[in-house]
Amino acid sequence: MTTPASTAPDAILHDVFGYSAFRGAQAEIVDHVIAGGDALVLMPTGGGKSLCFQVPAIARHRREQGVAVVVSPLIALMHDQVGALEEAGVHAAFLNSSLTLDEVQRIEREMMGGRLVLLYVAPERLTTPRMLAQLDSLEERGLLSLFAIDEAHCVSQWGHDFREDYLALNVLHERYPGVPRIALTATADDLTRADIIERLSLHEARVFISSFDRPNIRYAVVEKDDARKQLLRFIQDEHEGEAGIVYCQSRKKVDETAAWLSSEGLTALAYHAGLDADVRRKHQDRFLREEAIVMVATIAFGMGIDKPDVRFVAHMDLPKNIEAYYQETGRAGRDGLPADAWMAYGLADVVNQRRMIDESPAAEEFKRGQRGKLDALLSLAEAHDCRRVRLLAYFGEESSPCAAYQNACDNCLNPPATWNATEAARKALSCIYRFHQNRGQRFGAGHLIDVLRGKVTDKVAQNGHESLSTFGIGADVSEAQWRVVLRQLIALGHLRTEGEYNTLELTAAARDVLRGDVQLLLRQPSDAPKRRGGTGKTTRGARTKDKAPPIPLDAAATARFEALKHWRAEVAREHNLPAYIVFHDATLAEMAQSMPDSLDALGAISGVGAKKLEAYGREILRVLGD
Ligand code: ADP
Ligand code: ZN
């Protein structure tokens, strides 16, 4: 560019990043920080936090205000973040322990000369005497443009990612009160928020809270039948050739699931804390750099992974609570294109999670908190109404059912049939009560169902259960459906299981159902036989969904899309960067569809900034012309 570069945010957004408009609160945040204000930004994953400090950094640099310092806890990912900026023509660098002395000195020269636009550092490095002396010198010369503190929840002991080093960041406010600071996080709860403000002295900061809705994510929960097969079918039917994350609870299950998916022809890698650091790094690298990798992982995987085109996040086990579920599923679809949050859920999940809490050595008060969180999660899993409404409500946000969304949740897309299970539930609970009256005995679900359905087994005969008044009173409900009723009763807290054999026991809340104070409207299991003469009239239509590419393309355009991807892979390899940093899929798809025939037309496509147009424009036109 020959004309002096503009300092207007819109112009920067367009010329540098190739985007046409700011999203949500971005514009307001950017203006506020450019003007020198402090900010605390709460935005969901994928909401676009990076631009909130990158655009101000560029604007202030262009006004000769020097270097923006970005504090980030994830040394392993700095390389790619800086690579993305350099690809867009923004002079950026990182300082961390992976660099040689020569490299460090070169970067320090760029920084001290005020030439760098953004410098990424880990918190422990930022607060070294050497670094602080350098910052002092920059500040004296008016060349310290702003501080961005990413993953700001790391400063809070309430959060799960607490880092001691973050506490020392308070020095920034004390030492450089005139330099604007912007702290960013995707962790929403009030406690953490207050803690961030306190510990980073952000009392004067404007707080920007975005909606936590992720409209492009479809939430779906399926009933576990054969979970591995269900997972495979889900991936094959809906996400063939796409990248995704599969979360499992244990390391063992991670290894097994990854091996099994691999044996079925998918490229699945394992990630958990029991693997060598080398293996973990290699797997993470492949996930970021290659296409269509399925990462099977424990929750050790994910923080800071900003791969935009993760098309699905699957849970093979219940996550810990709704916060964890939202963080984990939030890693899907950062690019704004349709993505899936899929979970397989069954009775064993409920039983295991409850038992883990019951048997933990924690204080009773803590356990009560845990149970409350589990209950919230279970009612999300059992819900027959909009899951998005429930999720957002959990975070204190009111919303309407997402039926009109392009990517509506499973329940909005195919409203499940419900049935009034109050009578059935009362029958089951009173049968358990009778067992207990009768010699104080307890039994598991299998025997209970036999008795309810009036089946004369050896066990029934031995215990004289034929003579119970509840024998055979539930013959009109199928066995499969009884299991669902029991699971939901456990999930809702009216029943609990005990001991090695998971025998059933009434809770205090069972009384409400027995007395008829609580009506139970349960979701009709999709595959179970409908109740005779019941209310199960809705049949669930089979859903069909288009597979990749990100926008529907005809055959010729698909071929162009593939050719562009091929070209992109070569560039990415040459630059040692993940492909999505060169261009997102969505950008390539738009190129393939609209077939621009000039550099101007190409530059109008979202995601094509001036620098990339200059560097790659001609080649892209050639690939499209072939
Ligand atoms: P976060 O850090 O909040 O999880 P990112 O900053 O990584 O989110 O942004 C998510 C994705 O959205 C990125 O791929 C980014 O390029 C894209 N993005 C952000 N803001 C915009 C915008 N205004 N227009 C188009 N794409 C955007
Ligand atoms: Zn919905």
The 10s digit of each residue's pLDDT in 572-594 is 999 988 999 999 988 999 999 99
Percent composition of the chain: helix, strand, coil (DSSP 3-state, to 5): 45, 15, 40
| pLDDT for residue 535 | 34
- CA-closest candidate to residue 599, choices 571, 622, 566: 622
Q: Is 222's pLDDT higher than 70?
A: yes
Dist. CA 159–CA 506, nearest whole Å: 35
Mean pLDDT over 162-176 rounds to 92
Q: Is 159's pLDDT higher than 80?
A: no
Mean pLDDT over 160-165 rounds to 81
Q: How far is the CA of 353 from the centre of ligand 1 (A)?
A: 35
**∠ CA 43-49-55 to the nearest 5 degrees?**
145
Q: How far is the CA of 306 from the centre of ligand 1 (A)?
A: 9
Determine which of 102-111, 118-127, 430-439 has the lowest per-residue pLDDT on average.
Answer: 430-439
Question: Binning pLDDT at 50, 70 and 90, where does residue 525 land?
Answer: low
Do the beta carbons of residue 306 and residue 334 sit within 8 Å? yes
Which domains does the chain show, CATH number per domain?
Answer: 9-209 (3.40.50.300), 217-415 (3.40.50.300), 419-525 (1.10.10.10), 555-625 (1.10.150.80)
Pick the residue whose CA is nearest to atom 18 on ligand 1. 48
Ligand nearest to the CA of 388: 2
Pick the residue whose CA is nearest to atom 9 on ligand 1. 48
| pLDDT for residue 472 | 95
Q: Is 6's pLDDT higher than 60?
A: yes
Ligand nearest to the CA of 335: 1
Question: Binning pLDDT at 50, 70 and 90, where does residue 366 land?
Answer: confident
Task: Name the residue of 13, 15, 17 whose CB sits within 8 Å of the most ligand 1 atoms, as the mutation to test its pocket.
Answer: 17
Task: Name the residue of 19, 303, 326 whose CB sits within 8 Å of the most ligand 1 atoms, as the mutation to test its pocket.
Answer: 19
* Atom number in ligand 1 closest to CA 584: 14
Determine which of 273-277, 317-321, 362-366 has the lowest per-residue pLDDT on average.
Answer: 362-366
Ligand nearest to the CA of 304: 1
Dist. CA 349–CA 551, nearest whole Å: 37
Mean pLDDT over 500-510 rounds to 86
Residue with tokens 């961030």: 196
* Atom number in ligand 1 closest to CA 17: 16
Q: Which distant-in-sequence residues (6+ apart) come within 8 Å of 359 by Cβ?
A: none
Mean pLDDT over 105-124 rounds to 96
The 10s digit of each residue's pLDDT in 453-494 is 999 999 999 999 999 999 999 999 988 889 888 888 887 788
Ligand 1: which residues within 6 Å by Cβ? Answer: 19, 22-23, 26, 43, 45-51, 306, 308, 334-335
The 10s digit of each residue's pLDDT in 241-274 is 999 999 999 999 999 999 999 999 999 999 999 9
| pLDDT for residue 314 | 98
Q: How many residues does the chain have?
A: 626
Q: Is 537's pLDDT higher than 60?
A: no
Do the beta carbons of residue 215 and residue 405 sit within 8 Å? yes
Task: Name the residue of 23, 55, 326 whose CB sits within 8 Å of the most ligand 1 atoms, as the mutation to test its pocket.
Answer: 23
| pLDDT for residue 245 | 98
- Tell me the residue type at 25: A
| pLDDT for residue 543 | 34
Pair of tokens at residue 432: 């358990």
Pick the residue whose CA is nearest to atom 14 on ligand 1. 335
The structure's pTM equals 0.80
| pLDDT for residue 570 | 93
Q: Which distant-in-sequence residues (6+ apart) come within 8 Å of 493 by Cβ?
A: 375, 507, 509
Determine which of 56-60, 62-66, 480-484, 619-623 has the lowest per-residue pLDDT on average.
Answer: 480-484
* Atom number in ligand 1 closest to CA 150: 2
- Tell me the residue type at 511: R
Mean pLDDT over 357-380 rounds to 85
Q: How far is the CA of 532 from the centre of ligand 2 (A)?
A: 29
* Atom number in ligand 1 closest to CA 606: 25
Pick the residue whose CA is nearest to atom 20 on ligand 1. 48
Pick the residue whose CA is nearest to atom 19 on ligand 1. 48
Q: How far is the CA of 328 from the centre of ligand 2 (A)?
A: 19
| pLDDT for residue 526 | 58
